[in-house]
């Protein structure tokens, strides 16, 4: 005997179509909100468990020591890649005069942009304050550029032209 099967002795519910429609619309709205909340959590959990399953499938242990070691190894490779990129940029760096021109050009572009922002943010004091502070920083960088040695110029060139902090 199937407990989910309707028995013939139960009377069928006679609901008006408009009442059924309203009830389903109310339920759909509430369900959409709950589904959105739950789906975000479920997707994060699914990603975590998938990576764990992959690691176990490859025969790796799930110990915390092993995962920390792999994270440190990845951080070291990221750092070494970053240092390699930095060395490659410095190896292909232009001569000092061309490097100064590039940095000066980028800083002057930024200065002009910030000066426009200062005029635009006349009545928004928070944005105006931030724009003025950035403008002062750019002006200071331009002053430092005039007196920078070649080694200091390389660092400024990496930061300004290549945005390599």
pTM of the shown model: 0.51
SS (H, E, C) 50-74: HHHHHHHHCCCCCCHHHHHHHHHHH
Average pLDDT value for the chain: 74
Tokens of 92: 């292909």
Q: What is the pLDDT of residues 12-29, one digit of tens each?
A: 455 555 555 555 555 555
CA atoms in the 13 A half-sphere facing the CB of 41: 4
Q: Would you kindly state where each structural domain of the chain is located, as residue ranges?
A: 16-56, 64-93, 94-165
| E strand or H helix at 35 | helix 17-57
Give how far the C-alpha of residue 5 lies from the chain's centroid of Cα atoms, to the nearest Å. Answer: 52
What Cα–Cα distance (Å) separates residue 163 from each residue in 36, 155, 157? Answer: 38, 10, 8
Q: What is the pLDDT of residue 42?
A: 45
């Amino acid at each position: 005997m199937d407990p989910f099967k309707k028995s013939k002795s139960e009377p069928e519910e006679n609901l008006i179509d408009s009442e059924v429609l309203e009830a389903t619309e109310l339920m759909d709205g509430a369900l959409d909100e709950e589904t959105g909340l739950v789906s975000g959590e479920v997707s994060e959990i699914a990603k975590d468990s998938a990576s764990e399953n992959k690691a176990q499938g490859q025969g790796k242990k799930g110990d915390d020591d092993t995962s920390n070691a792999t994270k440190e190894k990845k951080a070291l490779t990221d750092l070494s890649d970053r240092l390699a990129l930095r060395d490659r940029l410095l190896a292909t760096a232009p001569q000092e005069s061309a490097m100064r021109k590039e940095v000066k050009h980028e800083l002057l572009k930024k200065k002009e942009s910030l000066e426009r922002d200062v005029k635009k943010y006349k009545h928004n004091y928070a944005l105006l304050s931030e724009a003025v502070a950035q403008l002062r920083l750019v002006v200071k960088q331009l002053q430092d550029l005039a007196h920078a040695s070649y080694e200091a110029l390389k660092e400024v060139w990496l930061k300004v032209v290549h945005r390599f902090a």
